[in-house]
Amino acid sequence: MRIAVVALGKIGLPLAVQFADAGHEVVGVDVQQSVVDLVNAGTEPFPGEAHLQEKLAELVPAGRLRATTDYAQAVPGADAVVLVVPLFVDEATGRPDFGWMDAATRSLGEHLTPGTLVSYETTLPVGTTRGRWRPMLEEVSGLTEGEDFHLVFSPERVLTGRVFADLRRYPKLVGGLSEAGAARAAEFYEAVLSFDERPDLARANGVWDMGSAEAAEMAKLAETTYRDVNIGLANQFAVFADKAGIDVYAVIEACNSQPYSHIHRPGIAVGGHCIPVYPRLYLSTDPDASIVRTAREHNAAMPGYAVDRAAELLGDLSGLRAVVLGAAYRGGVKETAFSGVFATVAALRERGAAVSVHDPMYTDAELTALGWEPYHLGEPADVAILQADHADYRGLTPADLPGLRLLVDGRHITDPAAWAGTPRIAIGAGR
Helix (H) or strand (E) holding 152: strand 150-153
Tell me, yes or no, whether 238 lies in a domain. Answer: no
Q: Are residues 102 and 164 in the same domain?
A: yes
Tell me, yes or no, whether 12 lies in a domain. Answer: yes
Q: Are residues 265 and 386 in the same domain?
A: yes
The percentage of residues in the chain with a pLDDT greater than 90, rounded to a whole number, is 95
Tell me, yes or no, whether 292 lies in a domain. Answer: yes
Give 200-248 pLDDT, tens digit per residue: 999 999 999 999 999 999 999 999 999 999 999 999 999 999 999 999 9
Report the interhelical angle of 302-314 vs 213-244 (nearest 10°).
10
Distance CA 42, CA 67 (A): 10
Q: Are residues 178 and 270 in the same domain?
A: no
Q: Are residues 291 and 153 in the same domain?
A: no
Question: How is 183-211 classified by DSSP, letter by letter?
Answer: HHHHHHHHHH------TTSSS-SSEEE-S
User: Residue 307: is its pLDDT beyond 90?
Assistant: yes
Distance CA 276, CA 303 (A): 14
| Burial grade of 316 (CB within 10 A; 0-12, 13-18, 19 or more) | exposed
| Burial grade of 418 (CB within 10 A; 0-12, 13-18, 19 or more) | middle
Confidence grade of residue 93 (pLDDT, cut at 50, 70, 90)? confident
Helix (H, G, I), strand (E, B) or coil at 84: coil
Give 70-87 pLDDT, tens digit per residue: 999 999 999 999 999 999
Confidence grade of residue 123 (pLDDT, cut at 50, 70, 90)? very high
Tell me, yes or no, whether 229 lies in a domain. Answer: no
Among residues 211, 226, 258, the one where a domain terminates is 211
Tell me, yes or no, whether 370 lies in a domain. Answer: yes
CATH code of the domain covering residue 427: 3.40.50.720
- Host domain of residue 151: 2-211
User: Residue 92: is its pLDDT beyond 80?
Assistant: no
Q: Are residues 156 and 285 in the same domain?
A: no
Helix (H, G, I), strand (E, B) or coil at 36: helix
Tell me, yes or no, whether 226 lies in a domain. Answer: no
Residue 151 corresponds to which amino acid?
A: L
Tell me, yes or no, whether 396 lies in a domain. Answer: yes
Tell me, yes or no, whether 290 lies in a domain. Answer: yes
Confidence grade of residue 59 (pLDDT, cut at 50, 70, 90)? very high
Catalytic residues: 220, 274
Q: Are residues 253 and 127 in the same domain?
A: no
Q: Are residues 107 and 180 in the same domain?
A: yes
Q: How many domains does the chain have?
A: 2
Q: Are residues 204 and 264 in the same domain?
A: no
Rounded mean pLDDT, 181-188: 98
Give 34-58 pLDDT, tens digit per residue: 999 999 999 999 988 999 999 999 9
Q: Are residues 262 and 207 in the same domain?
A: no
Q: Are residues 196 and 249 in the same domain?
A: no
Can you give the pTM of this predicted structure? 0.92
The confidence score (pLDDT) of residue 431 equals 67
* Vertex 424 angle, CA 418 and 427, to 5°: 120
Q: Are residues 29 and 77 in the same domain?
A: yes
Rounded mean pLDDT, 317-337: 95
Q: Are residues 178 and 320 in the same domain?
A: no
